[in-house]
Structure 1
Amino acid sequence: MAITFQAEGVKLPPIKKRKTAEWIQSVAKEYGKQAGSLSYLFCSDEKILEVNRHYLQHDFYTDIITFDYTEEDILAGDIIISVDTVHSNAEKFGTLFAEELNRVIIHGVLHLCGINDKTEDDAKRMREAEEKALQMLRTR
């Protein structure tokens, strides 16, 4: 199991790496999964747009892109997060940057656990799963 946190073109956000990794493992376990190799890359809007265009053929900014390499019940993936968009969304939704960052960090894990957010019903389920996971972090 290896959960890594790196930054490219931005300062690494002030996260408690060990506590965050333990939280990710706990959330994965809630879904009958085990955290394997997860690599987080924090970047700028421009970098995530470049990745979105190159790998997904999407021409828009986003807060997170998750590449899923999960095999059976072992979660694995590359999770790319735009710190710029997380900041913007925190302002937009009236929440703290740290709270929004944690929401996005776990959003990627929830995708790897099989939760989608393409339809309205799926998006509602995702938001509920995010809130449950955030509550787990708050009570740690």
Structure 2
Amino acid sequence: MALPDLTLSLQFGRFAGVDAHRSALPRHSVARWIRHALDLDGEITVRIVDAEEGQQLNREFRGKDYATNVLTFDYTQSPIVMADLVLCAPVVAREAEEQGKTLAAHYAHLLVHGALHAQGWDHETGEEDAEEMEAREIEILARMGIANPY
């Protein structure tokens, strides 16, 4: 099965410890993780930010005044998926440590999660939708040899 095409922009903000995040996110891996989650071709920007930028974006666009792990800004879902995925490096690093995961494995999960959001999946609309989205994430990650993130 051929994977969808992806035009990827991978951006890193300037923050302490950025090199560890760059190392965990080689471009070919980021592209692979996202392509496995796409049902259609995509144009996606991934931006890795510090806590301040993550909190500002979450406050401005979701009305929640804290930095979250991933924010998805989806612009179109057909005929291609166009989206920005913003991941907050300190939150991702803290969660990876708390969950006993490698930084790369946690980023893989969150990028798959964000790519699904960009295609209309939503775990906040009800328990059934959340279970369906989690099952899809587990399936996608398993195809790439990544353990169940839950």
Measured in 2, the distance between the counterparts of 1:84 and 1:55 equals 20
Measured in 2, the distance between the counterparts of 1:56 and 1:97 equals 25
5+ unaligned residues in a row in structure 2: which ranges?
1-5
Report the more deviating stretch, 85-94 or 102-111. Answer: 85-94
Alignment RMSD: 1.8
Partner of 2:27: 17
Measured in 1, the distance between the counterparts of 2:26 and 2:143 equals 15
Measured in 2, the distance between the counterparts of 1:108 and 1:96 equals 18
Instruction: Kindly indicate whether residue 141 of structure 2 is the aligned counterpart of residue 134 of structure 1.
Output: yes
* TM-score, normalised by the number of residues in structure 1: 0.85
Measured in 1, the distance between the counterparts of 2:35 and 2:79 equals 12
| Residues 71 and 134 (structure 1), Cα distance of their counterparts in 2 relative to 1, 3 Å cut | closer
Partner of 1:69: 75
Measured in 1, the distance between the counterparts of 2:70 and 2:29 equals 21
* TM-score, normalised by the number of residues in structure 2: 0.80
1:8-43 Cα deviation digits (max 9, x unpaired): 1232532231243144223313xxx222x2000001
Does the residue aligned with 2:38 lie in a helix, a strand or coil? Answer: helix
| Residues 87 and 38 (structure 1), Cα distance of their counterparts in 2 relative to 1, 3 Å cut | same
- Aligned-pair CA distance for 1:63: 0.3
1:69-104 Cα deviation digits (max 9, x unpaired): 124231111110011111111122222211111101
Partner of 1:123: 130
Alignment of 1:93-132 (within 5 A): 93-118=99-124, 119-132=126-139
Partner of 2:84: 78
* Identical columns (%): 24
**Residue-pair matches, total:** 135
Of 85, 93, 97 in structure 2, the residue corresponding to residue 91 of structure 1 is: 97
Does the residue aligned with 2:104 lie in a helix, a strand or coil? Answer: helix
Does the residue aligned with 2:22 lie in a helix, a strand or coil? Answer: coil
Partner of 1:44: 50
Report the more deviating stretch, 3-12 or 79-88. Answer: 3-12
